[in-house]
Amino acid sequence: MKKNSLKRISQVSFVLALSFITLIACSSDSVDDDITEDIANNDDDDSEEVVTELHAAYAAFNSDAVTVYLDGSEVVIETTGLPNHETIYWGEGNALYREEPDVNKTPSIMSSNNNATTIRVDATPNLTGSTIETELGTIGIAVSGSSLFNDQEGGGALDQAAASLDWTGAHIGPGVYHYHLEPVAFSDDDEKLVGVLLDGVFLYGRKCNSTGDYPSDLDASGGHTSTTQYTDGEEEYHYHIINEIYSTTGSYLAFAGPYQGY
């Protein structure tokens, strides 16, 4: 009788031991699977581009007016909106005041107007989505620190406001001092950087740095992909001021859209 009892105890112990070993093995497999999954997830995370420094082009912005910094995947651009060039809109008595007798100046002048603006743009523009039309108001920030506007004025054609534009294609009204046309104060029929638009894509003058000439492959937004003076030999999508005279103004629109980088 004792032998049978011992035999049953031995069998039960063996089953328990086997179950315990199986449990440990299953747990080990589960842990291994979790570790493998975590490694795979980390590899996926590592494959995503992480922006750790500002694009070199931002160094061209007027540091007296503009502050630029990274905030996660976005670039924050804060500006006083006050340009570093002459214009009638500075008002008499200012060191940068420029007399322009042919300009039908709007009532506002720089010193009595709040021109401060802040925009946030993608550090890496998304060029895979749909194009988006520009709207009234600030569509970008120029290297001078002032705003860029599109080809409309108060919901109508820009022609109606042409008389109030200063020598560099800008005015105040309504709101901030802003450029509608090629800002010849710092980019006049050349390849210089004009600014950055709300979609994070940079805007350059009428010529392209990669060839030194007017680009012939621009899309509907005035953009194409090539090297620039800020890309260290790498090609990058960017806009140009289109080399076509705009209507009665006798100059060139800064940007009419649509955006490509949303």
Domain ranges of the chain: 1-48, 56-252
| Residue bearing the bigger pLDDT, 58 or 5 | 58
Q: What is the largest CA-CA distance in the chain?
A: 124
| Spatial separation of the C-alpha atoms in residues 261 and 222, rounded to whole Å | 13
pTM summary value: 0.80
What tokens does 144 get? 């001078």
What pLDDT was estimated at residue 172? 94
Q: How does pLDDT run across 203-258, given as a tens digit for each residue? A: 999 999 999 999 999 999 999 999 999 999 999 999 999 998 887 778 999 999 99
What pLDDT was estimated at residue 13? 47
| CA 97-157-149 angle, 5° bins | 50
Q: How does pLDDT run across 66-116, given as a tens digit for each residue? A: 999 999 999 999 999 999 999 999 999 999 999 999 999 998 889 888 899
pLDDT at 184 over 50: yes
What pLDDT was estimated at residue 111? 83
What pLDDT was estimated at residue 186? 97
SS (H, E, C) the chain: CHHHHHHHHHHHHHHHHHHHHHHHHHHHHHHHHHHHHHHHHHHHHHHCCCCCCCCHHHHHCCCCCEEEEEECCEEEEEECCCCCCCEHHHCCCCCCECCCCCCCCCCCCHHHCCCCEEEEEECCCCCCCCCECCCCCCCEEECCCCEECCCEECCEEHHHHHHHCCCCCEEECCCCEEECECCCCCCCCCCCEEEEECCCCEEECCCCCCCCCCCCCCCCCCEEEECCCCCCCCCEEEEECCCCEEHHHCEEECCCCCECCC
Strand pairing of 202-204 and 223-226?
unpaired
Percent of the chain whose predicted confidence (pLDDT) is above 90: 66
| Residue bearing the bigger pLDDT, 3 or 214 | 214
| Residue bearing the bigger pLDDT, 123 or 157 | 123
